[in-house]
Structure 1
Amino acid sequence: MPLTGPKEMFEKAYKGGHAVGAFNVNNMEIIQGIMMAAEEEKAPLILQISSGARKYASQIYLMKLIEAALVEADLPVVVHLDHGADFDICKACIDGGFTSVMYDGSHLSFDENIKITKQVVDYAHDRGVWVEAELGRLAGIEEHVVSEENVYTEPDQAVEFVERSGCDSLAIAIGTSHGAYKFAGEPRLDFERLEKITKIMPDYPLVLHGSSSVPQEFVEMANQYGGDIPGAKGVPEDLLRKAATFGVCKINIDTDIRLAMTATIRKSFVDNPTVFDPRKYLGAARQAVKDMVQHKIKNVLGCSNQI
């Protein structure tokens, strides 16, 4: 099945009160695990490639792996650039076959963010490619953007930003953050802000970044088998499920996949010290990715059986 764009899957998600999972990919096992889960759940899927993933595995390798995964797949799949740092990266991904790109100008001034986003939009739309942008800033580190604190998205600014830039979807800041250490105290999302944005931008697809839940069983497993990940805390899954009923059509998940893989591999090394065949521990890690993604699709995103 050929790659698709997000338009139809987001329209269906908005009306149905569910979200589409956008899962970051870095290698073959991650792609396979995600694809197996989505196929089993009959769910739409977004495979995200970050600037870091492009540097690590190269864009062409990742695209060929995805191409191989699509040979027998019978589900809609979007390939999306996550956190594009500038116009040139977005252009390279559009030219390389991506069906969706995200330009991240969240660290820039309001007007400069609009200016470059519109440049990306003009190039992408001429080639039938979707554009996601970001307004507001999440705490933590993600690719080229580092922020000490959240800068929440202002609803009125969001309307102006979308109108002036022409972007197709907007990532907003309502309390999520990047990485495994999202909350020092009680986790909360600003649903009042989200509801206001949804009301003044009806039918417009919103996006949540930094939305991994950091499952404690994998934090504990990693630490039990030699890791050092103290105090990691993510977004509770019930809050994410609720967000999907307020116009959030795309939820990004990366950290949870990394945790599941790393914890599983650490356990495998300790439990099977004589094993040196990468297929053994990477096979187990691939299964952990599948199980994690399948859980997210069914219980967090609510998008099982939506194709």
Structure 2
Amino acid sequence: MPLVTTTEMFKKAYAGGYAVGAFNVNNMEIIQGITEAAKEENAPLILQVSKGARNYANPIYLRKLVEAAIEDTGLPICLHLDHGDSFETCKSCIDDGFTSVMIDGSHLPFEENIALAKRVVEYAHDHGVVVEAELGRLAGVEDEIKVSAEDSSYTQPEEVNEFVSRTGVDSLAIAIGTSHGAYKFKGEAKLRFDILEEVSRLLPGFPIVLHGASSVVPEFVEMINQYGGSMPGAQGVPEDMLRQAARSAVCKINIDSDLRLAMTAAIRKHMAEHPSDFDPRQYLSPARTAIKEMVKHKIVDVLGCNGQA
């Protein structure tokens, strides 16, 4: 099976009241853990690559690993660029075989965001590739993304119709209170479901995306702290809120930090309990298993997309 776009995935997700998981990948073990979980749960899958991941792993290696995962699992998998920061980056990924790209012009003025997104859409659609864009700006730190709370902003519902109609984008990431990284909330977690509801009303049937949607699984944070780490105050989006979002217009939920936490927690625990181990396979194997079990939980209990591939 070749790589697929998200078009059919999102149609089914919207109608079925579930979301497709978009998991960030950086190396073989992460890809294996995610795809093994999706295969066991027969779930559709978006594997997404950030600019930082491309710099770290080399685009050719990542693409070949994803192709291997498709051959191994037989699943419908979309290869997506996460947070493309320029037309050139998006074009490079399209030319490299990606089936979906995100152009992130959320930091730009409204008209400039439209112009950039439209340019990417025109090139992408000519090559059979779908495009995600963003309105509103998420706070947080992840890879090259560094946005202070003061510079973040909620999506303005009155802008969404014009943005989508003028750009031709295929999905839209909105800002309703999620944020990048492992420190999403200082106090009680809150999401602006009123904004989501209004956007859904204004764009009926249109797929919405949530970025910064890791739950920062407490057991992984506790394990990291127990075995020499230091992550005081790490807090994510409660999973019941994500499930509520998935039942509405949210068709794609991005998960990155939870993958990092699962992997790091498993490695720290293994190294603490087996200080003489130095073979990477010895500590990367439990890390891969931790990712697999976490992703299975997300697919079944949060996204609700098990059995939908």
Asked whether the two chains share a fold, i.e. TM above 0.5, the reply is yes
What is the alpha-carbon distance in structure 2 between the residues aligned to residue 146 and residue 158 of structure 1?
A: 24
Tell me the SS of whatever aligns to 1:71.
helix
* Deviation (angstroms), 1:13: 0.2
What is the alpha-carbon distance in structure 2 between the residues aligned to residue 97 and residue 277 of structure 1?
A: 34
The residue correspondences of 1:144-183 to structure 2 (distance < 5 A) are 144-149=144-149, 150-183=152-185
| Unpaired runs of at least 5, structure 1 | none
* Deviation (angstroms), 1:141: 2.4
2:305 alignment counterpart:
303
What is the alpha-carbon distance in structure 1 between the residues aligned to residue 76 and residue 11 of structure 2?
A: 14
| Unpaired runs of at least 5, structure 2 | none
Is 1:109 the counterpart of 2:109? The answer is: yes
* Deviation (angstroms), 1:146: 2.7
What is the alpha-carbon distance in structure 1 between the residues aligned to residue 18 and residue 69 of structure 2?
A: 25
Tell me the SS of whatever aligns to 1:231.
coil
Comparing 41-50 and 137-146, the one that deviates more: 137-146
* Deviation (angstroms), 1:70: 1.4
1:61 alignment counterpart:
61
CA contact (8 A) 1:133 1:171 kept: yes
1:285 alignment counterpart:
287
Number of matched residues? 307
CA contact (8 A) 2:70 2:76 kept: no
Tell me the SS of whatever aligns to 1:3.
coil
Is 1:13 the counterpart of 2:22? The answer is: no
Tell me the SS of whatever aligns to 2:23.
strand
2:84 alignment counterpart:
84
* Deviation (angstroms), 1:144: 4.3
Is 1:241 the counterpart of 2:243? The answer is: yes
CA contact (8 A) 1:83 1:143 kept: no
1:230 alignment counterpart:
232
User: Alpha-carbon deviations, 1:211-239, whole Å to 9, x = none?
Assistant: 00001110010011000111000000000
CA contact (8 A) 2:44 2:308 kept: yes
RMSD of aligned residue pairs (Cα, Å): 0.8
* Deviation (angstroms), 1:2: 1.1
* Deviation (angstroms), 1:107: 0.6
CA contact (8 A) 1:107 1:145 kept: no
1:11 is aligned with what amino acid?
K
1:274 alignment counterpart:
276
* Deviation (angstroms), 1:143: 4.3
What is the alpha-carbon distance in structure 2 between the residues aligned to residue 248 and residue 93 of structure 1?
A: 25
What is the alpha-carbon distance in structure 1 between the residues aligned to residue 92 and residue 142 of structure 2?
A: 20
User: Alpha-carbon deviations, 1:138-174, whole Å to 9, x = none?
Assistant: 0112444432123000111011111111111000000
Runs of 4+ aligned residues of structure 1 deviating over 3 Å after TM superposition are 142-145
What is the alpha-carbon distance in structure 1 between the residues aligned to residue 174 and residue 106 of structure 2?
A: 10
What is the alpha-carbon distance in structure 1 between the residues aligned to residue 283 and residue 144 of structure 2?
A: 32
CA contact (8 A) 2:172 2:209 kept: yes
Comparing 69-78 and 291-300, the one that deviates more: 69-78
* Deviation (angstroms), 1:101: 0.2
In the superposition, the TM-score normalised over structure 1's length comes to 0.99
CA contact (8 A) 2:138 2:153 kept: yes
2:221 is aligned with what amino acid?
V
1:131 alignment counterpart:
131
Tell me the SS of whatever aligns to 1:48.
strand
